[in-house]
Amino acid sequence: MLALAVWLKCFGRLGYFPALETVPAAVVDHVRRDLRLPEEVAAVHAAARTAERHRNLIRRRFGVVLDSSGTRKVAAWKDLNFYRPAAGARYRHIDALFGEPGRNVIDWDLIEGHYVGRVIRTIALLRFLSDAQLRTRTTAATNKVESYNHFVSWCRFGNRGIIADNDPDEQEKIIKFATLLANCVIFHTVIDMTAVIRDLTAEGWTVTAEDLAVLSPYLTAHIQRFGVYATDEVALAPGAYDAHLDMDLKLSTAS
Domain that holds residue 241: 165-255
Question: C-alpha distances in angstroms, 65 versus 27, 75, 98, 192?
Answer: 27, 10, 21, 56
What string of DSSP letters covers 140-156?
HHHHHHHHHHHHHHHH-
pLDDT tens, residue order, the chain (255 aa): 788 888 888 887 777 788 888 888 888 888 888 888 888 888 888 888 888 888 888 888 877 766 545 445 544 555 677 888 888 888 887 787 788 888 888 888 877 777 767 778 888 888 888 889 989 998 888 988 899 989 998 888 777 667 777 888 888 888 899 899 999 999 989 988 988 888 898 898 888 888 888 888 998 888 877 766 677 777 778 777 777 776 666 655 444
Residue 214 lies in a domain: yes
- Tell me how crowded residue 7 is: count the other CB atoms within 10 A of its CB: 23
- Residue after which a domain boundary falls, among 84, 111, 130: 130
- Residue after which a domain boundary falls, among 130, 153, 177: 130
Kindly state whether residues 195 and 110 are assigned to the same domain.
Answer: no
Question: C-alpha distances in angstroms, 208 versus 149, 169, 215?
Answer: 28, 45, 12
Kindly state whether residues 114 and 204 are assigned to the same domain.
Answer: no
Number of domains in the chain: 2
Q: How far apart are CA 27 and CA 109, in angstroms?
A: 8
Residue 38 lies in a domain: yes
